[in-house]
Each structure stands twice: as C-alpha cells, then as structure tokens.
Amino acid sequence: MDMVLDAVKDMQATVSALVVPGKGILAADESIPTITKRFQAVGIQSNPDTRRAYRELLIGTPQIGEYLSGIILFEETLDQKASDGTPLPELCAKQGIVPGIKVDKGLVELPFTNGDKVSQGLDGLGERLATYKQKGARFAKWRSVYNIGAGHPTRLAIEANAEVLARYAAECQNHGIVPIVEPEVLIDGDHSIDQCAEVSEVAFHEVFHALHRHGVRLELIVLKPNMVIAGKSHARKSTPEEVADRTVEVLRRTVPGAVPTINFLSGGQTPEQASANLNAMNERHPKLPWNLSFSYARALQEPVMQTWKGDAKNVDAARKAFFHRAKLNGAAQKGQYKAAMEKA
C-alpha cells in the first residue's frame, strides 16, 4: 500500500511540475529514421555524435526552462551525456525541466483495415519503464494515429488504438510514471475541418472509454491530441478562430474535467500556425477545466535545425532561435501571442 501511495505522490509531483502557466513540453523524441530524414533535409549527417550534439543544443539552451516544463526524449538520448559529461536527463533537471521518454515502438499496419495503423510496443513495456525510471524519466509518451480517408479510420482501428493507449497508460501509472496519451488524427489529406472534428470526437471518446475501463487515473495523465483543423491539401485553410472553436467544441464533448492538462501536438503545422492556433484557444476560451498548452516537435525545432546545420559555430544562433520560438509558444499558452512578436 505504501508503494502505491509513493507512486501516486511521484506522479502528482510530476503533473504539478509539468502544468505551469506559460510553459509547455518539447517533443525531442524523434526515432533515428525520423531525425535522420529531418537532418538530411538541411544537410546534416545523422550519427550518434550529431544527434547527441543537437539534443544537447536544445536542452542546454540558457534559461529555456522559463518556457519548457518537460522534454520527451528518445531512448538513445536517455543514455547520452553532454560534452561536459553530464547525463542529458540530468541536464534537463538542472534546467528545471522534467525528462520524459517515448515508449511506443512505432506503427504497423492493422490487418483487415486496408491501411489503418496501430502502435506496437506493449511487450516488455513494464520492464522498460522500470529501467527508464531508474535513468531519470518521470513521464512517458505513446502515439497512436488515425488517417482520414474513404472508409478510414475503420471502427476496428479506433477501438484497437484506444485499447493499446489505455493498456500503456495503466502500465505507466503502475510504475509511478505519468503517461502522455497521444491520439493523433493526421493532418495529411484534403479533408475538411468538419471531417477532422467528426473523426476526432469519435477517437477521443473511445480513448477515454478505454482509459476508464483500465482504471487509469485521469488526474495523473497528460492528453496530447491533434487540433481540429482541415487537411493540408484542403482547398480552404482553417483560420485560428475556426481551429480554436472547433477544437474546444470536440474537447468539451469528449475529455473529462479531471484531466489536468491538454498539450497539443503541432502535427505538420508551421511554427507560426501552431502558435497562432494555440493562442486563439486560450484567448477565446479562457475558462476551461483543463490547462491548454503545447507539446510541439517540428513547430519548435524547425527554425533551430535550419539555423544550426550541424555546425558548432551556429550553436548560439540556433539556441536564440529555439528560445524565441519557445517564448512565443509560452505567450500563446497565456493567450498573449501576437503575430508581430515573430519579428521581435
């Protein structure tokens, strides 16, 4: 019983550290194939040394803890050290940032769905979580995706992804680790904002039904959903006001008030779009039961990678770009972002 109480206290402390006004979470958990692809796009060679140097650049940015409360790391990063020998999770802690870890093992095709995907990685998850916790991780992340298209996502995919998300979340809480639950309706495609809203509502509802079924404590999770937005190829782009109103509408219908924080993924939006859309939510809907913040990857890192280009002499400039982007999203979390701030 004492062990259970200690685990709950650990998770309560982690949630309190993550949910801070003006702060959000950096997703720096790209798998090796993903970060290699992003490096190649800006002419950076991907190897353990360059990946370590890049993540040290991010984590070591002076005062970045003013706008980041947490960082999601990839397994490789959890074992790496900064150039002065400090383990990178320890460097996070020195910045006042909670280190977390991506634990799903990627996507595989779900049989008999004609292309829908399900995340894998439940086998051995308990043992991995125990190891990650020893290395300093205090929260974890698991991503499931939903494609919008003719006949997609199938009901089978919606139910299967909800089940694995709930099983993962329960296993995390069993080990005293706060789970980030990430159901992502993909922005790829030409679907309308109405279609995104429809699929998001069904998917989120199924996720919370599964979380309840598995006994997951909602007060001790972080929800990381997509925003409700038209597909990238849709003829008409969604305005920040539309994104804000439709997203909040879906969340009100599906997410219990017990959830402490909703940290949106950027999901292919530009850095400017992601900031403007988050800001519109907080500006237009200030009295919601949840904290609304960010857990961005590319929308925080794109300017950094383009500035750094793998060259040590660009580190200071890249860190300034990163700090500026984090500051803008910190303002958006408070509903205080203005487009004019982009040039400040």
Strands 107-109 and 117-119: antiparallel
Residue by residue, DSSP assigns 160-199 as HHHHHHHHHHHHHHHTT-EEEEEEEE---SS--HHHHHHH
| Rounded Cα–Cα distance for residues 167 and 100 (Å) | 18
Q: How far apart are CA 103 and CA 121, in angstroms?
A: 7
Residue 161's alpha-carbon distances to 1, 180, 219, 247, in angstroms, are: 31, 14, 21, 21
Gap between the Cα atoms of 182 and 156, Å rounded: 18
For residue 80, give the H/E element and its range. none
Q: Do 191 and 272 form a contact (C-beta atoms < 8 A)? A: no
- Residue 281: closest CA among 246, 252, 253: 246
| Residues found in the chain | 344
Q: What is the dihedral of CA 106, 29, 134, 222, to 10 degrees?
A: -90
Q: Provide the β-strand partners of residue 143.
A: 182
Taking the C-alpha atoms of residue 180 and residue 301, their distance in angstroms, rounded to an integer, is 20
Letter for the amino acid at 117?
K
Catalytic positions, written as ranges: 182, 224
- The dihedral over CA atoms of 78, 81, 82, 84, expressed in degrees to the nearest 10, equals 150
